[in-house]
Amino acid sequence: MGTQQTETVNIIDEAIISRTLEEAQAPDEGRLEELLAKAASLAGLTLPEAAELMLIDDPEHLHEMFETARAIKQRIYGNRIVLFAPLYISNECVGNCLYCSFRRDNKDLERRTLDPDEIRRETRWLIEHGYKRLLLVFGDHPKNNVEHMIEGIEACYSVHAGEHDDSIRRVNVNAAPLTSEEFVQLKPAGLGTFQVFQETYHRETYERMHPIGPKANYDWRLGVWDRCLPSGIDDIGLGVLYGLYDWRWDTLAMLQHAEYLMQTYHVGPHTISTPRLEPALGSDFSTHSPWLVSDDDFKKIVAIIRMAVPYTGMILSTRERPEFRRELMELGFSQVSAGSRTSPGGYTEHNPDDAPQFEVGDHRCLDEVMRNLCEQGYLPSFCTACYRSGRTGEHFMELAKPGDIQTFCLPNALISFKEYLLDYASPETRVEGERIIAQHLPQISSDAIRRSTEDKLRRTEEGERDLFV
C-alpha cells in the first residue's frame, strides 16, 4: 500500500441517487413491459429505470422481471457457470471495519500471512482437487504490499501438480487499493481481475463502518480504478457488501460507478460481486445491522444488476446456502466459488480453531458442486482463454456487450470441463458431466468451431491438456 494522495473524484452523485429513489414509482403493466423489453434487448437500464423496478412487489410483475433476467443470463452466458476458489493469503489487517472478523480489535482471531512456500502448498492442494482459477484474498496490512502480492501470484503459477503437470491458469486478487505505480508493478505478474469492493457507496455510512486505517479514506477507495485502468490492468471487479446500507441506494450507486467507468475508459466492470453480510467473529454489527437484506430483496438485486449491466460477469460466493444459490444462478450469476475455506492455510491444515472470515453457507466440495450443477442442467467451466488470448478490457467489452463472447465461451467451457472430468471427477460426476457435454456440443452454431471443438475434446481424451479456441 503506497501513500494515499487523494484527489476528490466526482463519480458518485449522492443527490441524484437519493432524488431518483424519492421520485421513482412502481411501474404499471404497460410501463413494465416497456422496461423489460428494453432490458431484454441488452440495452441496459438507466438509474431511474432501475429505481422503478426496485419498487415492484406484485408477484406477477416480479415473476416477469425474473423471467427477463433469466433470459438475459441465458442469452449471454447460456448454461455455463465458471468455478473458482478463494485462497486466503493473509488475515492480518490494520483496519477495524465494523462488519469483518479481520478487524484489528478482534483478538479472538489467530493472525497469519502465508509465505510463498505455504502459498505453494495450498495451491498444490487446490490443483490436485481440480481447480484452475483462484482468487487471492489479502487483509489490509503493510505486510500485504505489492511485492507480497506479486510473490503470491508467482507462487501460485509456479506450482505444477497432478498427472498432467497441471497448473493454475488464472489468478485474481481481492485486496486493498494500490497506487498507480503499484498497479504498473503488478501487471506483469499475470494478474487476472483486480477486485476492490466499495462495500457501501454511501459516504457517511462508509466512514462509520471504516473508522481507521487506509480504508477509512472513501475517496482513495472510490478512485481505485482511475489509478488501475490507466496502468494497463483492465479486468476490474466491483462490489457492494449488502447489509451495510439501503440496498436500493447502493445498487444505484454501483450502477453509477459502472456507467462512469464505461464513459471515461470504455471499460465497464469485468465482474460485479454482491456479497451479503454474514455473521463474523468479533463483529456485533454483522448480526445487528439494520440493513440486512432479505432473500426476496436479494433476488431483486441480482435481477436488476443482470438487466442493467448485461455484459458483466456476476460472482456468487459460498456465503449463500446451496438451494438458494441455485435460484440465484438462474437470475444472473455466471461465476461461483466452491469448496471455499476462508482462513489462511485452510485447505491444507484443517485446524478447527482457525476462524473463517465469515460463516460459509455452502459446505459442499468442488466435485459435489460440479455434479449438482450438471444435475441442474448447467455446464461447469474452468475456461481462462479470454485473458490468456488478450481478450480483456475494451476488447472484451466489444465482444461481451452484444453477447458475442459466446463464440469462445461454449467451446472453451466444454474443453476445460472435459479435462476436469478426466483428471479429477468422481465416477458419478463423470457420468453426469459426459451427459452435459453431449447435450451442449450440438449447440455450437458454427460448423467449423464445432468440428474444432470435437477435435480438441478428442485430443484431450488422448492426453493433451490446456487446449482452447
In whole angstroms, what is the distance from residue 235 CA to residue 257 CA?
15
| Phi, psi torsion values for 89, nearest 5 degrees | -90, -35
In whole angstroms, what is the distance from residue 99 CA to residue 410 CA?
39
For the chain, the C-alpha Rg in angstroms (whole number) is: 21
C-beta contacts of 190-193 below 8 A and 24+ residues apart? 190/153, 190/154, 190/157, 191/153, 191/233, 192/133, 192/235, 192/384, 192/387, 193/235, 193/236, 193/237, 193/270, 193/271
Piece in contact with ligand SAM (CB under 6 A), picked from 51-59, 68-76, 98-106, 119-127: 98-106
Piece in contact with ligand SAM (CB under 6 A), picked from 172-180, 224-232, 373-381, 420-428: 172-180
Identified binder of ligand SAM from the candidate list 66, 77, 102, 247, rule CB under 6 A: 102
> What is the total count of residues that contact ligand SAM (CB under 6 A)?
23
Is 194 or 417 the residue whose CB approaches ligand SAM more closely?
A: 194
| Phi, psi torsion values for 80, nearest 5 degrees | -75, 140
Residues 333-352 that bind ligand SAM (CB under 6 A): none
Rounded least distance, CB 245 to ligand SAM, Å: 13
Q: Could you tell me the three cell numbers for 357?
A: 472470515
Residue 175 binding ligand SAM, by CB under 6 A: yes
In whole angstroms, what is the distance from residue 413 CA to residue 339 CA?
20
SS3 state at 279:
coil
Rounded least distance, CB 55 to ligand SAM, Å: 26
Identified binder of ligand SAM from the candidate list 49, 122, 140, 330, rule CB under 6 A: 140
Residues 309-338 that bind ligand SAM (CB under 6 A): 319
CB within 8 A of 200, min separation 6: which ones?
206, 209, 240, 241, 244, 245, 250
Place of cell 490507466: 230
Is 128 or 226 the residue whose CB approaches ligand SAM more closely?
A: 226
Identified binder of ligand SAM from the candidate list 357, 381, 392, 416, rule CB under 6 A: 357
Identified binder of ligand SAM from the candidate list 96, 200, 271, 286, rule CB under 6 A: 286
E strands within 208-289? 236-239, 271-273
Rounded least distance, CB 195 to ligand SAM, Å: 8
Residues 250-279 that bind ligand SAM (CB under 6 A): 275, 277-278
Residue 47 binding ligand SAM, by CB under 6 A: no
58 - beta bridge partners? none
Residue 13 CB burial class (10 angstroms; 0-12, 13-18, ≥19):
middle
Residue 113 binding ligand SAM, by CB under 6 A: no
Query: Going residue by residue from 187 to 226, which x/- string records binding to ligand SAM, judged by CB under 6 A?
Result: ---------xx-x---------------x-----------
Interaction site with ligand SAM (CB under 6 A)? 99-100, 102, 137-140, 174-176, 196-197, 199, 215, 241, 275, 277-278, 280, 286, 319, 357-358
